[in-house]
Structure formats: structure tokens, C-alpha cells
Amino acid sequence: MNDAIAPIDTQLIKRVAYQVLSHFDKSYRWFTRITRGAQERFERGNWKETQLASKERITIYEQSLSDAVAEIYHLTEVRQKDDLFWQELKKTFAVQLEGHPQFELAETFYNSVIGRLFKHRRIENDMMFVLPSRCYLPGQDRHKVIHSFDTTTTVREMYESIFKIYRYNIPFENFERDLQNLEAALRARLNKEQLASVQAVEILKPTFFRGKAAYLIGRICMPDETLPFVIAMRRYNEPHMFVDALLTDRKDLSVIFGFARSYFMADTQNPAEVAAFLQELLPNKKHFELYMALGHYKHGKTVFYRNFLQHMDASDDKFEAAPGIRGLVMMVFHLPSYGVVFKIIKDEFAESKKITREHVKECYKLVKMSDRVGRMADTHEYVNFRFPLDRIEPELIEELKDTCASSLEFTESELIIKHMYIERKMTPLNLFLQEETDEEKITRALDELGLCIKQIAMANIFPGDMLHKNFGITRHGRVIFYDYDEICLMNERNFRALPKSDDPYAIDTLSVAPNDVFPEQFEHFIVGKRKFKDILKELHGDLMTPEYWHEVQRKCERGDVQHFTPYNPNMRFERVALPASGNETSNYSMLTFA
């Protein structure tokens, strides 16, 4: 006699699905509460609270996930449930998501729950949302996320109507000056024919807050083209704010949404529609990058994985070791046709690296929780990531076995990497300098290198290993740091003057403590060639003095929060003093769009 199939407990399935969604909703309310508080923190100039809020928002997901998993273990014997139970649970959860404004984020949360329950070993679409449950059509909720402004009036009146809607509980330093700057800037970017053809100006409803800046992000719609329309606002510690720039170049907007910057605080209940709008403005950005920029980094990982699977289906090249000098801590490889690198912690480190595997993980976590100030690449942690064996070069497989065997698991057709990081691909700076012949580009890159080190330090991070091979250069020419295994907080190092000796490399090792750093030695190892050393020293010679680092330490100890303008500084308005009565009339005010 055949064994009877146990009946599905539909009531239990509904309860579990309901609990997962309830924990997601609670998590999103928590996320929203912190995000919504960004405006008040900006208005009050509470920069330390701004940094703490950013860290808290990152931790929300893991805490909510742990609560949801604990609830499921309370409701049922997880290990006793067969595949049919989990398949039905997914279907029930998908039904509950009908009409949910954050359905795509809820699907990712569900995936995380299943991943935690099965230790990320059951990445199958019948059990979790490897593929989305529905196709989202951008634009269907567009009215919920944008304001449209009348362009049949004057440019001046259009700006005035914008600031009647976007209001802040802090006075402008000089509102009249700001309006004149905005008006003049728009007329400088668009000729009369373009102005006359403007059909609409659309701006996303949420203000995008980050650090000491706030952005209104929208677009100018014309019959033949659409341009970004971004009003960048700033405030210092004074009790006022000001308009810093009008940005209409996609390059500037792309840098603002760069992968080396902290996540925005932008309050919306329709993140899919906001991300879709941004994708139209930034077609070269990957969709997962935009979700991450909005603070939904976990969903960004989901979208990345889906994008990765699509790219694998559409390509046939093979994974190989990444170009550049091999690292002492990380094994790095890539797919030449794809824009990321994959980083695995090696099993053993060189003798010079007095660190542990857990220390490396903590360093990467520190960067995740810090203000990356546009100079430290965002990294994303994955476990049990699967690669098809027939797409991996044999030489890479052998090198991985030699260096990272404990992180590898092989099946008949796949390589499973138990733990790794994914990071945006850049050209290693040492390779750039080695191959570049344009002296101006070389000088600019070395200037960027010095600025990168300084800005990281001002964010309270000492980079540690500052060899130029640990920095990359983007297509926009920005230098970004991406090797974190020796980073620490600024107060964890003692910057000392080098003891005098005829030998510049000689140090009395008996008088050197483990945390001692000698900035005068930096010039000998940051870059190799004498020509490069001389350029770096001329541009940023203060980096090679302990006094510079002492001053940075003092600022970090005081809790000073720095702001580094993410767009071309030439786009910034001059803060010329103008009468602030509001009664003055711009010379342009009677020229209309039409």
C-alpha cells in the first residue's frame, strides 16, 4: 500500500506568509521613519545624527530578518517541512503582494528569509523569487512620485512655483540671489528655441538628502530630448541654506548617484517608480545601482543577481583572474564582459599581513557603515554564490584552489563560493599610470589620488595600505579606494616624525609601536616611479607630514563632518551678496518658456 501524501496545512502556510509580510512592512515603516527624519536633521544641521541615522537604517534589514526567521521557527518545525510546503508558501506570499506598493522589496525580504532558513543553499525559483513575480511597467504610478510644473509661464515664475511646493523649515541665505542664479543658469544651458520647446518640467516628489546637501531631482522634457534638471542645495552650520548649483548634465547626475557614495535619504512609498524615473534619466546606470543609491541595498543585490543571470545567458566569455598585481589578502576575478569584480578572502595571508579573516570582514563592514564620501567603493557580500564550471578558465580554477580552497565547493557542473564580495569594476590606478602617456591625464590622476586619500581621512578612515594598486580610476577620471583590509579609524594610529638617519628607510625598530605610522615614508611607496612621486609630492606634499595627519585627527575627534561636492565645482554658483527683500525683478523675468 502506498504511503499517503501528507495534506498541506493551508492555514499554517497563510500564517507564515502573513508573518513574513508583517515583518517586512514593519521594517519598511522603520526605514521610512528614519528616511523621513532626514529633512529635520538637515534643517537643524544635526550632522552627527545624520551619520547615526544612516548607520541605523543599514542595520534595520538584518534585525527585521532575524525577527521574521525566529517567528517562523516559533510557528512550525522548519526541518520537517517538505519542498511542497515551501513552494505553496511562495505562491501564497505572492498573492498577498497583490497591490502592495513595495512588492519588489517584499519579494527580496522573502528571499532573505528562505535564504536564512536554508543557509542559502536552495536558490530555486519555485521556492523563492529568483525571478520577479510580475513585470512592473514603469509609469503606471508616475503621478504618485512626481510634480509637474507649468512651462507656459516665465522661468522665474516656474522656479517660484517649485519652491512653493518644496518648502524647508530653514531660511534661504538669499532667496532672490538663488532665483536669479537658477534662472540665469537655465538660460545659459538652453537656447531660445530649446526654451520655447519645453513641454514639461517634472521633479520627483521626495527631496534627496545626503550629508549637508539636498537635491531636487527631475527633468526638462522637450520634443527631441530630455535633460536632467537637478537643483542642488546646501547648508553649512549657519542657520540658513542656499542653492549651490543647477545641474543639467547626465555626467554630473551620474557622479551624484555614484557607487562610492553614501545612500540617499529619499522618502517614498513607491520605490519602483522612483527607480524607474531615475533609470530614464541615467540609462547607463544599472537598475540595481539605483536601488542601492536609494538605500535599498538588499534589493539591489537581488536585482544584481537577476541582471547577472541575464548577462550570463547573453554572453559566452569566461571568468578569469582580474588584471593587475595579485593582492595579498583577496583573490580577485572577473568576467571581462561584465562590469564587476568578485573578491574572495584568501585562506592564508602573506607574513606582512598581521590580520585575520574576521578582521578583514570587519573592515569591509566598517566601510559599509561609514560615509564613503565618493572615494570608497561600495561592496556587497554574498554567500553560496554559484558559477557554471564551463564558464571558468581552468587557470582561474587552479589559482582559486591554491589560494581560497576553504571558500570553494564543487558540484558536477558548478563552483559554489561560500563567501565573497562583489564590487564595481575599475581600472587599477597602477595600470592606468603604467599605460597612460598624456602628461595632463597623469597629473590629474595623481591629484585625484591625493584628494582621495585626504577625503577618506576626513571621513575618519585611515586607508592603511596606500599603494596605488589599491586604488581604481573610473571612466569619469575619479580615483576610488577599494582595498580595505588594513583600514582603521583615525584615532587608532599614532602619526610620528621619522627618526633622523642617513638611510631614509632606516627606523629604530625598538622604538616603533604597532600603531605607529611615519608619513614621511609615504612618498616611497604610494607610487613607484620617481616622476610620479615628484608630481604627487608637489600636489599633496602635506600628506607626507605628521602635522597634516595630526590636524585631521583633531577634526575627527571634534566630530567635524565634512562635505565634498560630488559634481563639477565649476557648476557651483557664486554666493554674491544681493538684496534679500524679494522685491527685485530679474532682467530675465519677463522671458517665457513659450
Cβ pair 270, 249 in contact under 8 A:
no
**How many other C-beta atoms are found inside a 10 Å radius of the C-beta of residue 117?**
18
Neighbours of 442 (CB within 10 A): 17
Q: Which three cell numbers stand for residue 549?
A: 595627519
In a 3-state reduction of DSSP, which class is residue 203? strand
What is the residue whose three cell numbers read 519588489? 104
C-alpha grid cell, residue 433: 599610470
Q: Beta strands 213-221 and 479-481: pairing type?
A: unpaired
Q: DSSP state, 318?
A: -
User: Cell numbers 595623481 correspond to what residue?
Assistant: 446
Segment 76-84 long-range contacts (CB within 8 Å, at least 24 positions apart): 76/12, 76/16, 78/117, 82/6, 83/126, 83/127, 84/8
User: 10-28 as b/e, with b when 16 or more CB fall inside 10 Å?
Assistant: eeebbbbbebbbebbeebb
Q: How far apart, in whole angstroms, are the C-alpha atoms of residue 420 and residue 332?
A: 10
In this structure, what C-alpha cell is assigned to residue 74? 516559533
H or E segment at 64?
Answer: helix 47-75
3-state SS assignment for residue 342: strand
| b/e 473-495 (16+ beta carbons within 10 angstroms → b) | bbeeebbbbbbbbbbeebeebbb
N-term to C-term CA, the chain = 84
Beta carbons of 255 and 210 less than 8 angstroms apart: no
**Alpha carbons 214 and 266: distance in angstroms, whole number:** 10
Nearest to 549 by CA among 479, 464, 483, 486: 464
Run of H or E residues at 85: helix 83-96
Count Cβ atoms within 10 A of the Cβ of residue 423 and give its class: 0-12 exposed, 13-18 middle, 19 or more buried: buried
| Cα–Cα distance for residue pair 108/130, rounded to 1 Å | 9
How far apart CA 571 and CA 536 sit, in angstroms, is 26
- Among 362, 365, 414, CA closest to 121: 414
Q: Round to whole Å and give the CA distance between 316 and 6.
A: 45
Burial class (CB in 10 A: 0-12, 13-18, 19+), 266: buried
Please list the active-site residues: 378
